[in-house]
């Protein structure tokens, strides 16, 4: 049994929320701000270990640099008189997803498509915010997906696993890796059943696609009640439980042993998932893709997802097209100059078309507005320069505040989950 201190710093301790191998989390009251918070205290024995101590403090620093509403926020960092560091975090007052699903399943509940979507959308948003900060979580699992009450209800949410007055937030970045300063190589670690092969069988090179593997394992777990098995029986189990074959195919691709077989990023992962979740009863015919015309004016080959890069300088810059990843599958993309200093970039593949129209340049301080057009595409997701996702929006406004280059992406998926 964990002894509960009366106070940690200026925070009055109310109760124990959870106990882990390295730290204890308390429900506490900030008397200065009159707010209920969570205080995460590193265990006394681990506080003497410089490596563990630094990793604990690094978690707080990482969280301070991630501005996603779906990643738990840190408000303070301190140290007790006994030399134990602590973090002051948002309180997730509704528990975690692991416990929520366990309790619901014990009562006979089974998830539907809306439940998977209610988890996938904020999870993708959280990962986009983490990854745009050049961070890999490395321990994405149901126990680290927390639920908190929110004053901004989600209108029209049909899910039963997450209420309209609840928000899902990603927590526990204690195993996270900063790709900007690290080599990418990692030691083994993570939660059993939700650890990608390159991390589980390490040491190996780990990047953001490790989190996409884990996110896909979370969806399999949510749909079936257990993570994907090594024997590969889970796709047949999905089919036996009435889930569409396209969903199993999409998740199987994201759970590939080779990270190259997974999505480029969280936005692509989400739009592929949304397309695969509700495919048509009869798949549409596949339209053969015509071979590219040699020397065709105004055309170039780019990576799988269409991308527009808005360059904002003191007097503006240029809106252009760039390759997202060398060697990625490609679509035909055409860039057209329009009047008024605007450009239109269109990507097409097999009867599917996706286009962004926006300014070639903007003055710092102005807002750049981009419009979307699509055909043969069931759903779309904008990926803003800050990594935030904007599903099925007709337009995206980007505020500029300093000179530099910002990337705006639009990703589409057809009814079979194929992305463009």
| Model pLDDT for residues 351-399, shown as the tens digit of each residue | 888 899 999 888 888 898 999 998 888 788 888 877 678 888 889 998 8
139 belongs to the catalytic site: yes
CA atoms within 13 A on the CB side of 222: 28
Q: Which of 209-223, 266-280, 363-377 has the highest mean pLDDT?
A: 209-223
For the record, the structure tokens of 114 come out as: 């809306």
Measured CA to CA in angstroms, residue 253 lies from 212, 216, 384 at distances of 11, 9, 25
Across the chain, how many H-helices and E-strands are there?
9, 23
**Rounded to whole angstroms, how far apart are CA atoms 45 and 128?**
35
Angle at 144 between CA 388 and CA 275, to 5 degrees: 45
Q: Are 289 and 397 in contact (CB under 8 A)?
A: no
Give pLDDT tens digits for 87-112.
Answer: 999 999 999 999 999 999 999 999 99
pLDDT at 185 over 90: no
Active-site choice (96, 139, 172, 349): 139
Q: Are 23 and 41 in contact (CB under 8 A)?
A: yes
331-337 and 35-42 strand pairing:
unpaired
Q: What's the confidence (pLDDT) of residue 183?
A: 39
pTM tops 0.75, yes or no: no
Classified as helix, coil or strand, 204 is strand
Mean pLDDT over 147-175 rounds to 83
Q: What's the confidence (pLDDT) of residue 389?
A: 82
Q: What's the confidence (pLDDT) of residue 310?
A: 32
Torsion angle, alpha carbons of 391, 395, 399, 405, to 10: 80
**Alpha helix stretches (DSSP H) within 191-255:** 197-200, 209-224, 234-240, 245-254
pLDDT at 305 over 50: no
């Amino acid at each position: 049994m964990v002894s509960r201190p009366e106070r940690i710093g200026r925070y009055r301790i109310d109760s124990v929320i959870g106990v882990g191998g390295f730290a204890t989390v308390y429900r506490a009251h900030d008397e200065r701000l009159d707010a209920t918070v969570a205080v995460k205290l590193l265990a006394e024995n681990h506080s003497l270990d410089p490596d563990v101590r630094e990793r604990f403090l690094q978690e707080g620093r990482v969280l301070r640099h991630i501005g996603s509403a779906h990643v738990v926020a840190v408000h303070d960092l301190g140290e007790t008189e006994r030399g134990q560091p602590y973090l002051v975090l948002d309180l997730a007052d509704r528990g975690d997803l692991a416990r929520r699903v366990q309790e619901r399943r014990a009562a006979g509940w089974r998830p539907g498509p809306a439940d998977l979507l209610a988890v996938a959308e904020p999870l993708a948003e959280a990962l986009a915010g983490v990854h745009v900060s050049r961070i890999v979580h490395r321990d994405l699992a149901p126990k680290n997906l927390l639920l908190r009450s929110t004053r901004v209800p989600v209108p029209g949410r049909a899910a039963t696993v997450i209420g309209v007055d609840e928000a899902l937030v990603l927590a526990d970045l204690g195993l996270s890796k900063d790709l900007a300063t690290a080599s990418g190589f990692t030691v083994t670690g993570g939660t059993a059943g939700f650890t990608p092969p390159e991390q589980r069988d390490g040491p190996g090179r780990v990047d953001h696609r490790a989190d996409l593997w884990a996110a896909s394992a979370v969806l399999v777990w949510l749909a079936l009640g257990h993570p994907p098995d090594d024997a590969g029986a889970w796709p047949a189990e999905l089919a036996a439980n009435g889930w569409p074959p396209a969903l199993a195919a999409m998740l199987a691709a994201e759970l590939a042993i080779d990270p190259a077989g997974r999505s480029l990023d969280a936005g692509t992962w989400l739009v592929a998932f949304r397309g695969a979740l509700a495919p048509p009863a009869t798949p549409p015919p596949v339209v053969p893709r015509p071979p590219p015309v040699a020397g065709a004016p105004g055309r170039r080959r780019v990576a799988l997802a269409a991308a527009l890069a808005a360059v904002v300088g003191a007097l503006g810059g240029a809106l252009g097209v760039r390759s997202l990843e060398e060697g990625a599958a490609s679509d035909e993309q055409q860039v057209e100059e329009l009047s008024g200093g605007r450009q239109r970039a269109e990507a097409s593949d097999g009867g599917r078309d996706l286009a962004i129209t926006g300014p070639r340049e903007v003055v710092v301080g102005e807002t750049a507005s981009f419009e979307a057009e699509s055909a043969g595409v069931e759903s779309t997701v904008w990926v803003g320069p800050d990594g935030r996702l904007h599903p099925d929006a007709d337009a995206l406004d980007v505020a500029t505040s300093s000179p530099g280059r910002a990337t705006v992406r639009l990703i589409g998926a057809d009814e079979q989950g194929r992305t463009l």
